[in-house]
Structure formats: C-alpha cells, structure tokens
Amino acid sequence: MSWILKNNGKILEDICLDPQTVEEEVLINGAIILDSYLKSVTLIRGLGMNTDRLHRPVNVVANEIVANIHDQFEQYEPRAILGEITVDASNVQGMMDITVEIVGVKKG
C-alpha cells in the first residue's frame, strides 16, 4: 500500500491528527515536514522546507527540492520509505505543487 502527500496548502486538513497506527504517525510527520519552513519550528530549527529557493526558476531548483525532501525525511521520519517525489509549478496561481509518495513504512 502507498500513500500520497500533496503540499497544496491543505495538507494537514487532509490528515487525521489522532494516529491509530504507525502508518498514520508517519503520514502526520511527513505532512508536518512538507508544511513547515526551515527555522520556523521552535526547538527543531532544522525541520522543514528550505525557502532559499523561492524566487528561482522551478526547473533549476526542482532537484534541490527533491534532495531537501529526502534529507528531511531521512532525519525526521526515517520510518518512511519514499517513492516518487514530483515538483510541479504549472498551476495557474504560480505555486509549487510538491507530491511525495510513501510506498511503505519501516517497522521497528
């Protein structure tokens, strides 16, 4: 089974914040990683998406964003087994849509 997280501004609205399983815990943590900005979380300043790339062309920074996501999950939610990560800036509002596929959860 796999899960899709989309950083669409409503990511935490779509997630159950009362986890009953390890999989739900991983999804919550992944959603928080994608919805937070670097240095914005008190006591965990390293958590979140790096905003240094905001005003650069997406085709230039897409690989950097994917690498940042991998690093964030490796450090803050190592139980997640990541699948495909896509960065799309083709929406009409000019916002970046980031999609992260979690293909599994490591047990133990």
Q: Tell me, what CATH number does 86's domain have?
A: 3.10.450.40
Q: Which residue has the tokens 């980031």?
A: 98
Could you tell me where the beta strands, DSSP code E, fall in the chain?
3-7, 80-88, 97-105
Q: Which two structure tokens, joined as six digits, stand for 47?
A: 């958590």
* Pure H helices in the chain: 22-35, 58-76
pLDDT of 92 > 60? The answer is: no
- Return mean pLDDT, the chain: 86
CA 81 to centroid of chain Cα atoms: 13
Closest by CA position to 95, among listed 23, 6, 5, 4: 6
Q: pLDDT at position 14, please?
A: 72
Range(s) of the domain holding residue 40: 3-105
pLDDT of 54 > 90? The answer is: no
The total domain count for the chain is: 1
